Amino acid sequence: MIERYTRPQMGAIWSEENKYRTWLRVEIAACRVMCRLGKVPPDALREIEEKADFDIPRIRELEKTLDHETIAFLTAVGEKVGPASRFIHLGLTSSDKLDTAGALQLVQSLDLIAEGLQKLRQAVGSRAVEHKHTVMIGRTHGVHAEPITFGLKLAIWYEELRRHVIRLANMRKNIAVGKISGAVGTYSHVEPEVERMVCEDLGLEPASVSNQIIQRDRHAEYLNTLALLGCTLEKMAFEIRGLQKTEVHEVEEPFPKGQKGSSSMPHKKNPNLSERITGLARLLRGYALVGMENVALWHERDISHSSNERVALADASILVDYLLDRMTWIITDMRVFPERMKKNMDLTGGLIFSQKVLLALTKAGMSREDAYSIVQENSMKVWEEGGHLRDLLKDHPKVKELLSKEQLEECFGLGNLLEMADAVFQRIELG
């Protein structure tokens, strides 16, 4: 991932240095287990532990000739270790190291992502409680529908993020899997006990069964889980963008002092952050597709997955880490304009209370069809000619016959909206 979207801690996880360091960690873990089982002499293990290291430039130099990264890595390490290096990678195949070390990197990434997700969820929950009773218009199809509260909108995000917390936890279990089973996974040159002990030492579960690789449905699930989280972040960004439109202007993302919105129009305050999140979420969905394409490989394996995983797994992890951080900032520092929300609610002359009038008339004895017809007819007049729905209905003979002035007036209030907001927040244990 380009530096622009790479935060230091996540970038370090996917650096070449950490990749090779994690490879070495797996190889040394295997040497230690084999020493315990009597397959590697203790003196050789001590030499390996003391001297095993690598120089990235040397690995790159070797790979130019060898055209095989694992062999280049092992050769570079062997040059540091000396004769005892013959016990490194004993009975292993490249994917034993690659996939087991890869699982460790994915676990590191997931732990960082989970931490970022919790921070975002806390920020959303805090703003939801703050605006639990901030009344605004709810929109369906982009058209004014009925009143809601801004806190309820945020509570939906808060609960959706809870489901992502659960997904990440489940995903961590499914991806924290290693394999040390040798070529084609038959344990022909390394016993299952080695695999069990190495994985245990590394904090991983051994794959219950594998061929030459850990099966790629796990990695596809990883990428799909991150893509789905990206969808939620895009959903949040999409809403903020919509509410920041000039003619709406109910919410505004952070715009620090010194920021510029346009190279040509000094007045602009654009929702750049939210638009960036929207765009980058599309990349995550692309990586999810790559993960699914990698599930089907030839026979016991091919390496058609290997090249694209170098990009997809790293980039998706880095992007989600970045997006969580940016969205947390947006939520924490976004401006909310309750007065504008109130003003926008009044734009349609009481039309947003049409259902309450409909229900009041049917409760008073009018058929639903007749009540709907009366309310709709007068609502269309307000749409076309302006005015207020209440003023048209108060003189309608059939309405006057069934509803008192006080009953009609009550239809144009918020009713129990705030009490219902309290009930929802209590149900999701928020505030």
Residues belonging to the active site: 141, 262
Q: Which residues contact 357 (CB under 8 A, 6 or more apart)?
A: 371, 375, 389, 393, 399, 408, 411
Could you tell me the CA-to-CA distances from 271 to 3, 262, 283 in Å, in that order?
22, 11, 19
Nearest alpha-carbon partner for 178 in 27, 11, 59:
27
Helices (DSSP H) in 294-353: which residue ranges? 304-333, 338-345
Q: Compute the distance between CA of residue 341 and CA of residue 134 in angstroms, rounded to an integer.
A: 8
* β-bridge mates for residue 137, sequence order: 147
Tokens of 339: 């007065």
- The count of other CB atoms within 10 Å of the CB of residue 47 is 17
Tokens of 275: 């638009």
Q: Which contacts of 74-78 are long-range, i.e. CB under 8 A and separated by 24 or more positions?
A: 74/27, 77/24, 77/27, 77/52, 77/53
Residue 2, classified by CB atoms within 10 Å of its CB into exposed (0-12), middle (13-18) or buried (19+), is exposed
Could you tell me the CA-to-CA distances from 350 to 243, 344, 373 in Å, in that order?
21, 11, 17
Radius of gyration of the chain (CA): 30
Amino acid (1-letter code) at residue 380: M
Element (DSSP H or E) covering residue 139: strand 135-140
Q: Compute the distance between CA of residue 330 and CA of residue 305 in angstroms, rounded to an integer.
A: 36
> Are the beta carbons of 94 and 306 closer than 8 angstroms?
no
* Distance from the Cα of residue 2 to its chain's centroid: 19
Nearest alpha-carbon partner for 288 in 235, 219, 214:
219
